[in-house]
Structure 1
């Protein structure tokens, strides 16, 4: 037994020595030891890779920009079957033709490992560039070597190491030249062309300031063309790099151009004409003839530059038209929009449209969706819907077709609603219509309500412009500095309704109770804002107006600065509220159980009505410091409510959907709230600098409140 083992070991040693010396060349039959041991299986080309590229021979060989690592899956005698793991080592070989015409070869042998382990070889740095390199691999164990991966049905793997960078591209644009001129404007799509001299360009990497990087694929002439819509006016830079098939990117070309402000709309009617007019004057485009069902001088949305609008009665005579198209070539970018207030939201009702024979090229308006109405914009056979139109409520609606993406979008009050939808425009250059849409039997789907500030664009309406068009400036309806309270009345700074102080409430002024600040026994309070603040005793102290200050069924913003003087209140303490007979349309309170400031909105003026609550964790301040500014914002157009603490609205829990507003009948309250037992949740602390607005303050405006 010992002798036989020794002779077998000698044979294996001889085979191993022959393999190491390169004299054992495996054939498809492989080399096996005389004692009947089996050599590994031949590697498959499908299991070989150059970096992340597959093993390929010929024109499809990969080009790489760094000296690669090649990898292989090797198989022992069991062929990698479950339970058949074997230990093998890999022999790699690479070769190429040198500059002198002679073949060059390099080899490497790995350590012995299980054949379930990937085998790899980092090729040496002596690999030449711009040269086709071939390589192959075989598996070896103590009983022999497999066939090379290139033998039989296999083939050598090839790659080219390419470290030559492509040239810097040349960038040109007929629309936005790099020549210090301001053209043509934000929202106007422009074409840019990239070209490079290198013959192996496969892509161009490019980016505009403020935009994510993108790739452009070149055509047969190795140039590429992109289209871009600037989203704002100003100096813009386009950065471009050419990329070759090895992944090398060449020097960057920075192309600087100047984007002018947004061009004026191609058609614009304010619809603020004098009562009795039979046409609407055009800011741009042609005057629009008005049917007898149109009445000028109707109310305008507050907080906008509009002074009046046109009211359409929903009859066959309630329309306006310039007798010409406003959008020519609907396969290009365009947008239409305006301020609207529907008197009715039943059925399909048209704000704006353009004729296309006996049909329409596009329609903006409202339409039934499911169990209720929705705003709608249609182009060709595509339609996007969204939002919640309500009779008597103003909204800014705008529909937009983006020729670059071939989609339509719908915006209500500056926010995109519905889902972006693919559309194929129809050829339609008939008359533009306000208040009606063309059908096979004539005009139909007539608007009933107000329309104002109608605009049509032959470009994209950019985000900042859309925000400006749809914004209603909040109107301040109350500001109480709480610095004085003659005869128990804290005046409103604009001469509006005062806050009437109840028992347990007083205005503190620094000069009312001075003491020597150098006296160690002097404990001096300081006003939160200005010369004084309102102090509340937590028992009966409060201040209130006689009537509501904000319409809680509409959009409003209410804010106050509050400081607690009770470190451990026994129950919730309300800083500010406004409600009705049984509950509060809104209240802001401190909840000691959760150590949080809460915004609470009852869904109805009924005992036990459901509530929406937004909370912010915050420790009581113990009567020191400047307290906290609490701000509640109700955006009726978006059916949302937001809560800010010290000008910050947290992404988590800072905003909630709210579709149950109601109009409160009671006055604005400081220091108390409605409870099941009557007035309660009395605040022990101080309140100062109270603001109330009709409309929605922006986040920037909220942060700027003192």
Structure 2
């Protein structure tokens, strides 16, 4: 028998009320009706809805998507998501569209019950048609009933169009670089390319030049786009273009092939290598330049370049050259100017190249004070970029460039970009081109004092390969010791230069000096590292040295040697090669057993206890076997950098360091020892072979090719 109590009747009444509320909440959802009964979830806000990650919108702003999207909503219970008011709800989603026969089709889905702080999502089914406007809405439901639909009242349905049709391949044309198998100049010359769509819904073009990063271009109202491109080198180039529609679909590629010739010659070029006494500078291109009385031809040229001589300007009012004509004809387009320079003075503002613009100048390349010291400078209009460190008596290749596409100026010193790319507004420069001076309101000023050579002006971009070639100084070999022999204790330099004098404990071993039967098990043959012999050092007093310095350690140099250690566990550091002064070494390469590393050590001054810059590479000793290691030190004075290579490899970390405190050593090149606080020390026990020394910087490829 069932006993009915007063509590049971109350529970039944509450359940009946809940059912009535749910029914009411379900029924009262007609457009414009918003339920506000206590306990019901809040109506979802349009701002809390997303279609495939995009905001909920309708009408002309509706998104086009290339995949059937997931729709997401934030739903809130009676507390509206306030702290401490979290409740559990489920989401009812509904989507509809007009079917092929004109009838409305609807699909729906109800999520599981979750905390109302979570996002509620629905991956729409694959039955969603393409090329059709799809609408959707959502409401929140709990045990008390349902909220209003998100589309009701002040809300609106969310809309999208599913578009899976790929656009057709675009048409690509260029009058500057035609796809007709002909060679067109060339590297550094800006060309324009036109893309034309073959469909109305194309909004962008995705394009990529071979070897360049992918980019996009927006479509203009006529369905086309134009882009510009500066080829960085000559050869075959391929441009790949795809049309992209508003859904993000990208169609098939159009491949456009064109042939790029060498960059055109400079519009003006003066080597300034004219005979002493000349009053004009002959032009390789353009007009000969008249030289003022303060110009002297026949001055020294930078070593390692094709130049044979340069022009020296005395810094006076007569120290200038000019063709008496405009050279850069349009300063609003791409242009560049540069040349080799060696300042005699770096105080104040000094001009290498400029072009008149009335009583001012359109551009100026030179040096100027920045902060507490001088810097190289390139100015266009009122904009200026500065960088680098001019030093009196040092050669540098400086080039300034204006890029009309980006509207910026750049400055290059010795082939490297310095300073920060700077926005510029060019001014018309219809006046004369000037070498060694710049126009001012009161006449010419900012005069150059020092040497200038190989001046060039371009009406295009100077590409990276050209910059490197213009600024490169070929390293000059100043010493090579094969160490195959040492008659009378002197190991000859192969070019007839200064020999290495062998000290006590040093000897040159040759294979034919101590032959034995290689089939004899007791035969232990010491094979030369390179060639017919090598230098053996006893680790006590053994060394070899030149009488005088081989490289100028205040300038750029490269020194390399092949070294093999005999001692597996030396008591202290052992130096393979060094060059220094009275108290320290401008550089030395040593093996440090404490860290088991090859180290390049550079003292900052020829003083006891001077600070040092150290580059290291961990490496186990080779125990007297094998070909040893080739150690190479490179000092680039123009970049204020020093690099250390082991077996032709410069490591990304620890391979290069800034070094702006070089000093000119007075001692000879040393093999097998270094300067220490107690005098000569750090003697090497092992062998050294195939020593090279260069004035200048060898490239990484040249270093790898050393034997």
The TM tier, using the shorter chain, reads: over 0.9
How far off its partner does 1:32 sit? 8.9
Render the CA deviation track for 1:415-460: whole Å, top value 9, x for unaligned. Answer: 1111110000001110000011111111111111110000000000
Kindly tell me: are residues 273 and 152 of structure 1, through their superposed partners in 2, closer, same or farther at Cα, counting changes over 3 Å? same
Would the aligned equivalents of 2:34 and 2:153 in 1 still touch at CA under 8 Å?
Answer: no
**Cα distance in structure 2, aligned partners of 1:339 and 1:5:** 109
Render the CA deviation track for 1:518-576: whole Å, top value 9, x for unaligned. Answer: 21111111111111111100000000001100011110000000011111110110000
Would the aligned equivalents of 2:23 and 2:145 in 1 still touch at CA under 8 Å?
Answer: no
**Cα distance in structure 1, aligned partners of 2:600 and 2:2:** 90
How far off its partner does 1:283 sit? 0.4
Kindly tell me: are residues 142 and 670 of structure 1, through their superposed partners in 2, closer, same or farther at Cα, counting changes over 3 Å? same
User: Is the partner of 1:569 in helix, strand or coil?
Assistant: coil
Kindly tell me: are residues 343 and 97 of structure 1, through their superposed partners in 2, closer, same or farther at Cα, counting changes over 3 Å? same
How far off its partner does 1:218 sit? 1.2
**Cα distance in structure 2, aligned partners of 1:157 and 1:376:** 58
User: Is the partner of 1:3 in helix, strand or coil?
Assistant: coil
User: Is the partner of 2:184 in helix, strand or coil?
Assistant: coil
Would the aligned equivalents of 1:11 and 1:34 in 2 still touch at CA under 8 Å?
Answer: no
Kindly tell me: are residues 668 and 90 of structure 1, through their superposed partners in 2, closer, same or farther at Cα, counting changes over 3 Å? same
Partner of 1:29: 32
Tell me if 1:298 matches 2:307.
no
How far off its partner does 1:594 sit? 0.9
Would the aligned equivalents of 1:298 and 1:308 in 2 still touch at CA under 8 Å?
Answer: yes
Farther-moved stretch of structure 1 (484-493 vs 508-517): 508-517
Would the aligned equivalents of 2:565 and 2:621 in 1 still touch at CA under 8 Å?
Answer: yes
How far off its partner does 1:2 sit? 12
**Cα distance in structure 1, aligned partners of 2:147 and 2:526:** 92
**Cα distance in structure 2, aligned partners of 1:91 and 1:370:** 68
Would the aligned equivalents of 1:33 and 1:144 in 2 still touch at CA under 8 Å?
Answer: no
Kindly tell me: are residues 137 and 227 of structure 1, through their superposed partners in 2, closer, same or farther at Cα, counting changes over 3 Å? same
Would the aligned equivalents of 1:272 and 1:306 in 2 still touch at CA under 8 Å?
Answer: yes
Kindly tell me: are residues 22 and 580 of structure 1, through their superposed partners in 2, closer, same or farther at Cα, counting changes over 3 Å? same
How far off its partner does 1:624 sit? 1.0
How far off its partner does 1:26 sit? 3.3
How far off its partner does 1:184 sit? 2.0
How far off its partner does 1:24 sit? 3.6
Render the CA deviation track for 1:384-436: whole Å, top value 9, x for unaligned. Answer: 11111111110000000000100000000001111110000001110000011
How far off its partner does 1:3 sit? 9.7
Partner of 1:237: 238
How far off its partner does 1:86 sit? 1.1
Matches within 5 A, 1:99-138: 99-138=100-139
Kindly tell me: are residues 66 and 25 of structure 1, through their superposed partners in 2, closer, same or farther at Cα, counting changes over 3 Å? farther
User: Is the partner of 1:21 in helix, strand or coil?
Assistant: helix
Q: Structure 1 segments of 4 or more deviating over 4 A?
A: 1-8, 10-23, 27-35
Would the aligned equivalents of 2:25 and 2:35 in 1 still touch at CA under 8 Å?
Answer: no
Would the aligned equivalents of 1:30 and 1:146 in 2 still touch at CA under 8 Å?
Answer: no
How far off its partner does 1:651 sit? 1.3
Partner of 2:20: 17
Partner of 1:206: 207
Would the aligned equivalents of 1:30 and 1:144 in 2 still touch at CA under 8 Å?
Answer: no
Counting matched residue pairs gives 701
Partner of 2:680: 679
Render the CA deviation track for 1:57-87: whole Å, top value 9, x for unaligned. Answer: 1110011001111111111111111111111
Kindly tell me: are residues 447 and 32 of structure 1, through their superposed partners in 2, closer, same or farther at Cα, counting changes over 3 Å? closer
Render the CA deviation track for 1:611-642: whole Å, top value 9, x for unaligned. Answer: 11111111111111111110000111111111
Would the aligned equivalents of 1:352 and 1:364 in 2 still touch at CA under 8 Å?
Answer: yes
Kindly tell me: are residues 145 and 521 of structure 1, through their superposed partners in 2, closer, same or farther at Cα, counting changes over 3 Å? same
**Cα distance in structure 2, aligned partners of 1:12 and 1:668:** 102
**Cα distance in structure 1, aligned partners of 2:145 and 2:25:** 12
How far off its partner does 1:16 sit? 7.4
How far off its partner does 1:264 sit? 0.3
How far off its partner does 1:31 sit? 9.8
Kindly tell me: are residues 15 and 290 of structure 1, through their superposed partners in 2, closer, same or farther at Cα, counting changes over 3 Å? same
Matches within 5 A, 1:662-673: 662-673=663-674
Partner of 1:409: 410
**Cα distance in structure 1, aligned partners of 2:302 and 2:442:** 35
How far off its partner does 1:488 sit? 0.8
Would the aligned equivalents of 2:556 and 2:634 in 1 still touch at CA under 8 Å?
Answer: yes
Kindly tell me: are residues 496 and 23 of structure 1, through their superposed partners in 2, closer, same or farther at Cα, counting changes over 3 Å? same
Kindly tell me: are residues 493 and 353 of structure 1, through their superposed partners in 2, closer, same or farther at Cα, counting changes over 3 Å? same
Would the aligned equivalents of 1:173 and 1:191 in 2 still touch at CA under 8 Å?
Answer: yes
Kindly tell me: are residues 5 and 187 of structure 1, through their superposed partners in 2, closer, same or farther at Cα, counting changes over 3 Å? farther
How far off its partner does 1:294 sit? 0.8
**Cα distance in structure 2, aligned partners of 1:646 and 1:25:** 83
Tell me if 1:515 matches 2:508.
no
Kindly tell me: are residues 622 and 154 of structure 1, through their superposed partners in 2, closer, same or farther at Cα, counting changes over 3 Å? same
User: Is the partner of 1:669 in helix, strand or coil?
Assistant: strand
**Cα distance in structure 2, aligned partners of 1:44 and 1:477:** 80
TM-score, with length taken from structure 2: 0.96
Kindly tell me: are residues 22 and 276 of structure 1, through their superposed partners in 2, closer, same or farther at Cα, counting changes over 3 Å? same
How far off its partner does 1:29 sit? 10
**Cα distance in structure 2, aligned partners of 1:59 and 1:494:** 81
Would the aligned equivalents of 1:32 and 1:143 in 2 still touch at CA under 8 Å?
Answer: no
Kindly tell me: are residues 663 and 143 of structure 1, through their superposed partners in 2, closer, same or farther at Cα, counting changes over 3 Å? same
**Cα distance in structure 2, aligned partners of 1:18 and 1:180:** 79
How far off its partner does 1:4 sit? 10
**Cα distance in structure 2, aligned partners of 1:63 and 1:97:** 17
Kindly tell me: are residues 19 and 356 of structure 1, through their superposed partners in 2, closer, same or farther at Cα, counting changes over 3 Å? same
Render the CA deviation track for 1:450-490: whole Å, top value 9, x for unaligned. Answer: 10000000000000000000000000000001111111111
Would the aligned equivalents of 2:25 and 2:145 in 1 still touch at CA under 8 Å?
Answer: no
Partner of 2:276: 275
Matches within 5 A, 1:184-583: 184-583=185-584
Render the CA deviation track for 1:567-605: whole Å, top value 9, x for unaligned. Answer: 111011000000111111110001111111111111111
How far off its partner does 1:23 sit? 5.9
User: Is the partner of 2:59 in helix, strand or coil?
Assistant: coil
**Cα distance in structure 1, aligned partners of 2:37 and 2:393:** 99
How far off its partner does 1:201 sit? 1.3
Would the aligned equivalents of 1:188 and 1:230 in 2 still touch at CA under 8 Å?
Answer: yes
**Cα distance in structure 1, aligned partners of 2:277 and 2:100:** 93
How far off its partner does 1:14 sit? 9.9
**Cα distance in structure 2, aligned partners of 1:607 and 1:128:** 84
**Cα distance in structure 2, aligned partners of 1:530 and 1:389:** 43
Kindly tell me: are residues 18 and 158 of structure 1, through their superposed partners in 2, closer, same or farther at Cα, counting changes over 3 Å? farther
**Cα distance in structure 1, aligned partners of 2:31 and 2:298:** 96
Farther-moved stretch of structure 1 (175-184 vs 687-696): 175-184
User: Is the partner of 2:488 in helix, strand or coil?
Assistant: helix
User: Is the partner of 1:248 in helix, strand or coil?
Assistant: coil
Kindly tell me: are residues 73 and 349 of structure 1, through their superposed partners in 2, closer, same or farther at Cα, counting changes over 3 Å? same
* CA-based RMSD: 2.2
Farther-moved stretch of structure 1 (139-148 vs 532-541): 139-148
User: Is the partner of 2:20 in helix, strand or coil?
Assistant: helix
How far off its partner does 1:11 sit? 7.2
Partner of 2:143: 142
**Cα distance in structure 2, aligned partners of 1:514 and 1:543:** 25
Q: Which runs of 5+ in 2 are unaligned?
A: none
How far off its partner does 1:143 sit? 1.4
How far off its partner does 1:7 sit? 10
User: Is the partner of 2:93 in helix, strand or coil?
Assistant: strand
Render the CA deviation track for 1:129-154: whole Å, top value 9, x for unaligned. Answer: 11001111111111111111111111
